């Protein structure tokens, strides 16, 4: 969602905060129940009013969730950060958390890149199966002679073929 700017000092109702952040009003109520978000006041009609900085807080919570943090874990991070009395200590704590998540994200990207290569090899290999003589049965696939001798079937192809072999064995 694109960042919506809210005039500093302006209060917003929960529905508007929900629209601006892409979260449901129920999610915002849950954030409030957990102590992750606080309304600054209430309207005369009893509606929760939030400060403009609440938009940033809700987006931050969403990003933390995307990094794999549960809401209770986010509460712990905020609690630990809030217990620090010296700025550099508080930010050092946050930096450590972000460094660990950055390392994990890079590892995940590496795994996804490897999986992408395997999928590309598998699709390329399987594209040649379209030229296979329709007389061949699925059970013939592991010994298929359509592919070149040096064209080794990728693991994703061999793995599916092994299911048939195990069922026969």
Q: Is 85 exposed, middle or buried (0-12, 13-18, 19+ CB in 10 A)?
A: exposed
Q: Parse the chain into domains and list their residue ranges.
A: 1-70, 107-168
Q: Can you tell me the mean pLDDT for 157-164?
A: 76
- Confidence tier at 125 by pLDDT (50, 70, 90): confident
Q: Which residues of 101-115 are buried (b: 16+ CB within 10 A; e: fewer)?
A: eeeeeeeeeeeeeee
**pLDDT confidence of residue 2:** 43
Higher pLDDT, 100 or 45: 100
Q: Can you tell me the mean pLDDT for 32-59?
A: 91
Torsion sign (Cα): 92, 97, 100, 101 = negative
Highest mean pLDDT: which of 13-22, 138-147, 156-165?
13-22
Residues 6+ apart with CB under 8 A from 57: 36, 37
**pLDDT confidence of residue 5:** 54
CATH 1.10.1660.10 fits 1-70, yes or no: yes
- Residue 43 main-chain phi, psi, to 5 deg: -75, 170
CA distance 143 to 139: 8
**pLDDT confidence of residue 37:** 95
CA distance 36 to 69: 13
Higher pLDDT, 132 or 29: 29
Higher pLDDT, 16 or 166: 16
Percentage above 70 pLDDT, the chain:
87
Structure-token pair, residue 156: 């994703």
The answer to whether residue 56 scores a pLDDT higher than 80 is yes
Per the prediction, the chain carries an average pLDDT of: 85
Distances (CA, A) of 36 to 65, 72, 114: 13, 9, 38
Contact between 39 and 49 under an 8 Å Cβ cutoff? The reply is: yes
């Amino acid at each position: 969602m694109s960042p919506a700017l809210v005039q500093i000092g302006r209060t917003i109702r929960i529905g508007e905060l929900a629209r601006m952040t892409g979260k449901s009003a129920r999610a915002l109520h849950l954030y409030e129940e957990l102590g992750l978000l606080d309304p600054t006041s209430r309207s005369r009609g009893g509606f929760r009013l939030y400060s403009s900085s609440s938009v940033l807080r809700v987006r931050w919570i969403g990003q933390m969730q995307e990094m794999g943090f549960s809401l209770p874990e986010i509460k712990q991070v905020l609690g630990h950060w809030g217990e620090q009395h010296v700025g550099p200590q508080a930010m050092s704590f946050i930096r450590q958390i972000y460094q660990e998540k950055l390392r994990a994200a890079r590892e995940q990207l590496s795994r996804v890149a490897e999986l992408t290569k395997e999928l590309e090899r598998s699709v390329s290999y399987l594209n040649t199966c379209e030229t296979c003589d329709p007389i061949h049965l699925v059970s013939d696939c592991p010994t298929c002679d359509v592919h070149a001798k040096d064209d080794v079937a990728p693991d994703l192809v061999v793995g599916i073929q092994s299911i048939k072999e195990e069922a026969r064995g």
